[in-house]
Structure 1
Amino acid sequence: MGGVWAEICSRAVDLRHHPWQRRELTMRRHRFDSPGIGSLVTFGCFILSGCGSNPAPVAVDSSESVASDSGAATPSNATTTTSETQLAVPNTDSATVPVYTPTGALTSWHRWRGPTASGVAPQGNPPLNWDESTNIQWKVKLPGYGSGTPIVWRDNIYLLTAVDTGKMPEGSPPAADEKSASGGGRGRRGFRMSTPTPKTEFEFRLLCLDRQTGETVWSQVARKQVPFSGHHPSHGFASSSAVTDGKLLYASFGSYGIYCYNLAGELQWELDLGDMQTRAGFGEGASPALHEESLVVTWDHEGESFIVCLNALSGEEIWRQPRDERTTWATPLIVEHEGTAQVITNAQNRTRSYNLADGALLWECGGQAGNPIATPVVKDGTVYCMTGFRGYAVYALPLSARGDISDTDKIVWKYTDNGPYVASPVLYDDLLYFTKERRGVLSCVRADTGEFQFENQRLPGFEGLYASLSAAAGKIYIVSRNGTTVVLKHGSEFEVLATNQLAEGIDASPVIVGNQLLLRGAEHLYAISEQ
């Protein structure tokens, strides 16, 4: 990878599609000879693991009882019918994002990157200021641990967590030796990267909370088992987001199963894709992507990687394609373009587009950096992908491309001097905002040209960053791992409007629904609104 990266860094960038047609822009670290670069938005968190033969989903009769802490209480919106027609979702006043969005989703946050799949809440208007005693609508302690971003459908919040029961299963054999656990759990020099392999049972749970009160509506145990490996010290076993179309709810714990529930918390089907052998034993993180009746899961790991499309109603496999990739944690993006639904995947070796109908590879582009986590975003026929680990790569790629477009003039623009490692950027109107590596350093570019509006601006009070960026009502919300949230004015100038502090660290991304902001901390879920 190093040789490829060095070659990319040394190349001049062809901006033939830009106003400065045929000019070359050479990117150097901390120096820009011309106003280059651009758009990009990453799409988040949720990889699923496994290899081997195609497992059959297990359908569940809705009359059967499901493990629950509080009973399968039916939420008020459980019987709501939802159109599954494709909608062009307004990202701004005039632009459209051609992502599948069920009726009613614009007033919710029904997937990992929100209603527009860009981190923007078109109808949101959350508070500007808060702290532990100001504008806190409610604060509830969550069971277990997880850093997955919640989703919202109307009046209910859904999130994943993993609870250590502290108990050994009855009659179980001794836990697997740590050194033989899948993923190894150690870095290249032998030092520990992941946590030790647990010896006790964990409950992998899906929670439903009332959005107005924070009270638990239902809590379902999807699986109970002793995990086969440890996890990254920062995130635990529940790092992904659920997704819903307003009728059914989909959750993935990666190696510990994919699950479909109705909104009353009744299990519809489940599927086991195997054990994912993640790099350094870090565990899973990518979320599934939903498009009408298709559910797409990426399974990039140290074993046989693949991407699979499932029938969202039954869990049956529609198609599967092998992938020449190692462990990645980026959630796929599904977008309509010229009558074809494309599945865009950001990965270490290549960014790829698959035809959702049959899994055929439509186009691909090499030149990424390591460990992609950010999710792609799209606007006006261009998709933006980026990585920021052991190098940088920000690419603007045309959805109309076909075949291998690596190092060709088909690339709209590219930039190799900056990029986020973990956080997905936000694409708001014509502006793309993204951070540098895991630091509180922000840049903003025009999505169409890659022209900088501002670059490498430091966010006050930041101590590392995992959460992706979110936006609403002319404001950008960026959260640090130390619980600091900086609110910026949306626009071409860097302007901090407010700096807010909570009492615990935050790795999950901000969720905006109406006048409410949801922040999942290390122990609590906060609902923030004007009080």
Structure 2
Amino acid sequence: MMFAPTRYLLVVLLLVLLGGCIATITCPAEDWTQFRGPGGQGHSDAAMLPLTWSETENIAWKTPIAGDGWSSPVVAEGKIFLTTATAIDDDADKARSLRALCFGADDGQILWDREVFRQAGEGVQMHKKNSPASATPVIRDDRLYVHFGPSGTACLTTDGEVVWKTQELKFKPVHGNGGSPVLYNDTLIVTCDGGDQQFVAGISATTGDVVWKTDRRADVRKGFSFSTPTLIEVDGRTQAVCPGSGAVVAYDCETGRELWHVDYDEGYSVVPRPVYANGLVFVSSGYDSASLYAIDPTGRGDVTDSHVRWTIDKGVPKTPSMLAVGGELYFVDDGGVASCVDATSGKLHWKKRLGGKYSASPFYGGGRIYFQSETGTTTVIEPGKTFVELANNEIGEDDRTFASFAVIDDAILLRSETHLYRIEE
């Protein structure tokens, strides 16, 4: 008489264990903690991202954002963070309040809005495609790091309280600031490439003190650039790969010492973040005519002639970053021509005009690649050596969209000129 209840209890226990396994398998995607997501490579592990949307389809919420800013959203523990710059005194002298904002992920409501710095308007140069708040924040645990170029860098709690602020790093940006910070252990690394001086710096993430500062080595006519470092591990050591005018340089993250560099003559205004895949670093040389460099990062010193594995001179982006998926490298140039090449050889698989102009960087998630134009049109394609378009989506607003996508759970976050969208099926 005891057998049936025992068997019943075993079945219940098995179902509970299976339920735990299923819960583990379907856990939320990892947080989107920096520009281009975890690792900075434009990859999301979300499995069920939306394929199609419009202004009235698959929009979970849409929240207005005051001010100007092209920082991309970052996400942690159900909260969304970004920066903006609002006018002071009715924009009388173009002075700006530089602010950090936090949104609830479920409903898009603003949880807090904190002024971090004020930027005087006199003498500020700003390109029409830039803003005073273009650098994407970095988030780790309960700390949010925001960077506004020479106007200052700061650490806040995720509840909006300022931990530290520094304005020690001074330079004169041309067209505004743009490069986003990255975190290596306790060091916040930023590129500072102005018209007057160019350097890379490491800031203590705990205190805000500048722990190292390394001058750029390239001697070029136009020194200004807007790059975001990419951290890679080579032979057990982490390198900060930092493109700038005239050269891309890899630095030791702990000391700022230069490890290797590749020269590309007078290339300037470099924006795309480097991509690391298949043992190679992929870099765009910027204006006036961009070239794509595939670099083996195992060398030391000047490796221009020894470690560049291949180059491409046509269809290379000056603003959007590239994307590596499997053995292929994908990119779209500023004029809307997308390309797919073999990552190890540079062999062209396909080239396709998507239409429109592009500044945002593509990303990969749910087995698809998403390209976002400057007017909010998103082309979704299937990865592969043949071009296969899956969807073409518009948000229906007459807004510019220069910020790159972010991902939260199985939803896409899109920042337009005036709103933040959560797109979700």
**What TM-score do the two structures reach when normalised by structure 2?**
0.88
Alignment of structure 1 residues 400-415 onto 2, 5 Å = 400-406=298-304, 408-415=305-312
Counterpart of 2:344? 448
Deviation at residue 410 of structure 1 after TM alignment? 2.2
CA contact (8 A) 1:208 1:219 kept: yes
Give the aligned partner of residue 132 of structure 2. 237
SS of match in other structure, 1:259: strand
Match of 1:64 in 2: none
Residue 477 to residue 308, structure 1, CA distance change in 2 (3 Å): same
Conserved? CA contact 1:119–1:471, under 8 Å: yes
Structure 2 counterparts to residues 74-89 of structure 1, below 5 A: none
* Alpha-carbon contact 2:224-2:268 (below 8 Å) kept: no
CA distance in 2, matches of 1:316, 1:414: 39
Alignment map for 1:478-493 (pairs within 5 Å)? 478-493=371-386
Which residue is equivalent to 1:248? 143
Task: Give how far 1:287 is off.
Answer: 0.5
1:327 equivalenced with 2:221 (yes/no)? no
Indicate the SS of the match to 2:196.
coil
Q: Provide the identity percentage.
A: 29
> Counterpart in 2 of 1:463?
356
1:256-405 paired onto structure 2 within 5 Å? 256-279=151-174, 282-324=175-217, 326-367=223-264, 369-405=267-303
Report how far residue 374 of structure 1 moved: 0.3
1:161 aligns with 2:84: yes
1:149 to 72, 80, 85: 72
| Structure 1: stretches of 5+ with no match in the other structure | 1-103, 169-197
Q: Distance in 1 between matches of 2:307 and 2:184?
A: 27
Helix, strand or coil for the counterpart of 1:116? helix
CA distance in 2: counterparts of 1:304 and 1:234, whole angstroms: 22
Structure 1 residues 29-68: aligned runs within 5 Å:
none
Query: TM-score of the superposition, structure 1-length normalised?
Result: 0.71
Cα distance in 2 for residues equivalent to 1:425 and 1:410? 20
Contact 1:381–1:400, Cα closer than 8 Å, also in 2: no
Contact 2:177/2:226 (8 A) holds in 1: yes
Which residue matches 2:16? none
Q: Deviations over 1:234-276 (max 9, x none)?
A: 2321111000112311000112110101111111111103543
Contact between 2:29 and 2:410, CA under 8 Å: does it hold in 1?
A: no
Is 1:114 equivalent to 2:37 in the alignment? yes
Contact 2:315 2:337 in 1 (8 A): no
Compute the displacement of 1:124 (Å).
4.5
Please provide the CA RMSD for this pair. 1.8
Please tell me the residue identity of whatever aligns with 1:224. R
SS in 1 for 2:412: strand
Aligned length: 391
Q: Which moved more, 1:497-506 or 1:154-163?
A: 497-506
- Of the three residues 311, 314, 321, the one matched with 1:417 is 314
The higher-RCO structure (CA 8 Å, 6+ apart) is 1
Residue 211 of structure 2 aligns with an amino acid whose one-letter code is I
Q: Give secondary structure in 2 for the equivalent of 1:432.
A: strand
The C-alpha deviation readout for 1:333-374, integer Å capped at 9, x for no partner, is: 122211211111112211111111211111111126332100
1:91-140 Cα distance to aligned partner (Å, 9 max, x none)? xxxxxxxxxxxxx9961110001113111102353211111110000001
2:107 maps to 1:216: no
Residue aligned with 2:75, SS = strand
Cα gap change, 1:205/1:158 in structure 2, threshold over 3 Å: closer, same or farther? same
| Residues 384-417 of structure 1: per-residue CA shift (max 9 Å, x gap) | 11135321211111121111011x2322222222
Deviations 1:456-503 (A, max 9, x none): x111xx321111111101111111112211111111111111111111
CA shift digits 1:2-45 (9 cap, x unpaired): xxxxxxxxxxxxxxxxxxxxxxxxxxxxxxxxxxxxxxxxxxxx
Structure 2 residue ranges without an equivalent (≥5): 1-26
CA deviation vs aligned residue, 1:73-92 (integer Å, no higher than 9, x gap): xxxxxxxxxxxxxxxxxxxx
Checking the alignment, whether the CA contact within 8 Å between 1:120 and 1:470 is kept in structure 2 is yes
